[in-house]
């Protein structure tokens, strides 16, 4: 950065600057620790409430009145506390492809624009949220508390985003840039109320263009969404600022979404407890002797892991830490090894439990139970496609002898605790003992048990797991919240009607609609995060698909699978970024190496589409 430390007037001034910098760093660190601990604690409370309710219901035929609302409110609090922390993590959802091609000056300018966008979003959340507190009225029947509390926490979260961005900028010595961004954000925020423009474009399209600008300058995606919804108001949008924050918070206030932090917690603790390692040994005993045995072991491990965890990002991170070094040690080229890990991690969001399907269910009202069953079949098909692709691409000599049945049995028994997790989830949801959220909570509690028993995890280790899961869940929750105002703008402009019309121009038959949908989803997957794309495109594409006679559940599976494949493609391929971030293999090399596996996944996708069309 060429702009750093421009303060060279005098040693004393420089000294003061450094003091301020050190103070900001200390404040940033202290606030992060405080927020992280608070978010972890709220997640613990939420887990306790949901599991106590299960025990009461099935053990004592009673329940805590208001447990559902309480859980929802706590989840909003986790998002509010954790979102400021997510800014500095890999889950900030920043696209850096454009940025890295700019010169130093261009990068500096785009960084200031990105900060302005984040600060503008923080201002809109803080002030808009405060207005909601005043205006929303009403109370939760079940909790007997005013509705405004939920929005108050979110407003505080917006304020914390502002504080964290400013502290982080000062701590890294970017005082002037920080001042410029702050002044710009304040000027835009307070100026926007005075302006009414009619750009001749529908407000939703204006918002989309602003989002694209935000994504291009590498602003965190959720904040690009908030800033865009706010800036759409002077451009003619009919959603006032408080309503926009209200819509965002309501979007994240679904009981089903509580499953996200619970599933993230299970995934993390599965690794912490060492039970995930046992899965690898069992997988190796089953398929290690095959051609490309270690690649096949990676695939099978990921398939089993995905039956217990719901986040592909968690799966990619787990694979990068545990499976990738094994592959490289046994002669796989690093980029090939990383590509195998990334490609097989998509199974996690397709095989139940799956955060992607949870998000789709909340926004379309499709049954999450039916979606998960569809996801199971799709996941097995995708795994089969990857199995074939691995056989064709990996030329490794078999490094392992075929394991005897004794070893297989032994490793199977040792892996049993992990299968217990899968059983809780599948039986819980499918056979109706508990709802999806409760199954997720039971799974999380079970993995806390695994961590305590097998890894002797105690306070600090568990706190770390709760904290990490809460921040990750907050990042996802913030994305979900931020996408909702934009989704409402699209609904008010009836863009779904336009998509339906476009589909009917292509013949409105199921083939045309499926083709159009897959193309739109693949293009969206290039640029936007999977969760956001599901929220935006699910309600846009589903009506056209249903009108064409396609089964909504199968179509939902197509949406998720297509967008997950987008996680492996440039420029924005979240799974590739996660693997690149951990393994230090350049993402460009990974994008090249993953091509055969993407091709295999696309073949499986075509089969699913064919099934959807032929089964009408």
468 vs 485, beta carbon nearer other proteins = 485
Residues 332-361 that bind Na ion (CB under 5 A): 348, 351, 353-354
The site partner of 147 among other proteins, Na ion, none (C-beta below 5 to 8 Å per kind) is other proteins
The site partner of 566 among other proteins, Na ion, none (C-beta below 5 to 8 Å per kind) is Na ion
348 vs 493, beta carbon nearer Na ion = 348
Residues 115-154 that bind other proteins (CB under 8 A): 132, 135-142, 147
504 binds other proteins (CB under 8 A): no
User: Least CB distance from residue 505 to other proteins, whole Å?
Assistant: 14
Diameter over CA atoms, the chain: 77
User: Least CB distance from residue 423 to other proteins, whole Å?
Assistant: 16
User: Least CB distance from residue 477 to Na ion, whole Å?
Assistant: 18
Q: Which residue is associated with the tokens 């048990």?
A: 449
Q: Got the DSSP string for 10-61?
A: -HHHHHHHHHHHHHHHHHHHHHHHHHHHHHHHHHHHHHHHHHHHHHHHHHHS
Residues 298, 582: Cα–Cα separation, whole Å: 17
Q: How many CA atoms lie within 13 A of 19 on its CB side?
A: 6
Residues 193-212 that bind other proteins (CB under 8 A): 202
Asked if 285 contacts 112 with a C-beta cutoff of 8 angstroms, the reply is: no
Residues 208-247 that bind other proteins (CB under 8 A): 238-240, 242-244, 246-247
375 binds Na ion (CB under 5 A): no
Site size for other proteins (CB under 8 A): 56
Residues 7, 14: Cα–Cα separation, whole Å: 6
423 binds other proteins (CB under 8 A): no
The site partner of 569 among Na ion, other proteins, none (C-beta below 5 to 8 Å per kind) is Na ion
566 binds Na ion (CB under 5 A): yes
Residues 283, 276: Cα–Cα separation, whole Å: 11
Which residue from 414, 569, 596, 611 is in contact with Na ion, where contact means CB under 5 A? 569
Strands 145-146 and 139-140: what pairing?
antiparallel
* Selection from 180, 156, 163 nearest residue 81 by Cα: 156
Residues 538, 44: Cα–Cα separation, whole Å: 32
User: Least CB distance from residue 563 to other proteins, whole Å?
Assistant: 20
Phi, psi for 146 (deg, rounded to 5): -65, 140
Six-digit token pair at 69?
């609302």
521 binds other proteins (CB under 8 A): no
Q: Got the DSSP string for 266-326?
A: HHHHHHHTTHHHHHHHHHHHHHTTSTTHHHHHHHHHHHHHHTT---HHHHHHHHHHHHHHH
Binding residues for Na ion, per CB under 5 A?
306, 310, 348, 351, 353-354, 525-526, 566, 569, 572-573
Binding residues for other proteins, per CB under 8 A?
57, 61-63, 65, 68-69, 132, 135-142, 147, 202, 238-240, 242-244, 246-247, 250, 255-256, 361, 365-370, 430-436, 487-488, 491-498, 501, 539, 543
């Amino acid at each position: 950065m060429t702009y750093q430390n421009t303060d060279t007037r005098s040693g004393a001034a420089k000294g003061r600057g450094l003091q301020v910098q050190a103070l900001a760093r200390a404040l940033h660190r202290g606030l992060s620790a405080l927020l992280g601990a608070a978010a972890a604690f709220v997640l613990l409370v939420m887990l306790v409430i949901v599991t106590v309710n299960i025990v009461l219901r099935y053990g004592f035929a009673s329940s805590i009145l208001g447990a559902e609302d309480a859980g929802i409110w706590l989840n909003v609090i986790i998002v509010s506390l954790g979102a400021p922390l997510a800014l500095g993590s890999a889950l900030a959802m920043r696209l850096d492809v454009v940025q890295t091609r700019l010169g130093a000056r261009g990068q500096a300018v785009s960084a200031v624009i990105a900060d302005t966008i984040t600060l503008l979003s923080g201002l809109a959340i803080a002030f808009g949220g405060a207005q909601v507190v005043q205006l929303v009225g009403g109370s939760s029947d079940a909790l007997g508390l005013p509705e405004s509390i939920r929005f108050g926490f979110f407003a505080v979260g917006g304020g914390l985003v502002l504080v964290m961005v400013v502290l982080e900028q000062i701590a890294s010595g970017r005082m002037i840039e920080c001042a410029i961004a702050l002044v710009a954000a304040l000027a835009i925020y307070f100026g926007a109320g005075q302006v009414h423009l009619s750009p001749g474009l529908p407000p939703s399209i204006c918002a989309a263009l602003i989002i694209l600008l935000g994504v291009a300058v590498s602003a965190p995606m959720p904040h690009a969404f908030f800033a865009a919804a706010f800036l759409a108001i002077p451009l003619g949008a009919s959603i006032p600022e408080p309503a926009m924050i209200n819509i965002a918070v309501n979007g994240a206030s679904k009981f089903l979404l509580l499953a996200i932090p619970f599933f993230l917690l299970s995934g993390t603790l599965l690794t912490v407890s060492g039970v995930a390692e046992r899965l690898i040994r069992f997988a190796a005993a089953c398929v290690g002797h095959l051609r490309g045995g270690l690649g096949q072991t990676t695939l099978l491990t990921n398939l089993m892991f995905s039956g217990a965890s719901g986040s592909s990002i968690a799966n990619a991170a787990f694979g990068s830490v545990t499976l990738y070094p094994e592959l490289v040690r046994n002669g796989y080229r690093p980029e090939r090894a990383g590509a195998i890990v990334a490609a097989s991690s998509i199974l996690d969001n397709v095989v139940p439990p799956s955060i992607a399907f949870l998000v789709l269910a909340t926004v379309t009202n499709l049954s999450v139970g039916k979606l998960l069953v569809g996801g199971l079949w799709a996941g097995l098909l995708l795994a089969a496609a990857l199995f074939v692709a691995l056989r064709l691409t990996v030329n490794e000599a078999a490094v392992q002898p075929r394991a005897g049945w004794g070893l297989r049995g032994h490793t199977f028994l040792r892996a049993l605790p992990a299968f217990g997790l899968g059983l809780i989830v599948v039986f819980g949801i499918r056979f109706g003992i508990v709802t999806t959220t409760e199954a997720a909570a039971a799974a999380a509690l079970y993995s806390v048990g695994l961590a305590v028993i097998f890894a002797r995890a105690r306070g600090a280790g568990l706190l770390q797991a709760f904290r990490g899961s809460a921040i990750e869940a907050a990042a996802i929750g913030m994305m979900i919240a931020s996408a909702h105002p934009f989704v409402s703008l699209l609904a008010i402009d009836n863009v779904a009607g336009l998509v339906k019309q476009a589909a009917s121009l292509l013949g409105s038959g199921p083939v045309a609609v499926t083709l159009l949908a897959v193309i739109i989803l693949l293009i969206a997957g290039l640029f936007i995060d999977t969760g956001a794309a599901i929220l935006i495109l699910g309600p846009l594409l589903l009506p056209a698909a249903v009108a064409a006679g396609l089964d909504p559940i199968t179509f939902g599976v197509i949406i998720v699978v297509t967008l997950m494949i987008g996680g492996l493609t440039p420029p924005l391929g979240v799974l590739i970024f996660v693997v690149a971030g951990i393994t230090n293999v350049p993402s460009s090399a990974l994008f090249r190496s993953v091509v055969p596996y993407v091709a295999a996944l696309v073949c499986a996708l075509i089969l699913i589409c064919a099934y959807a069309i032929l089964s009408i």
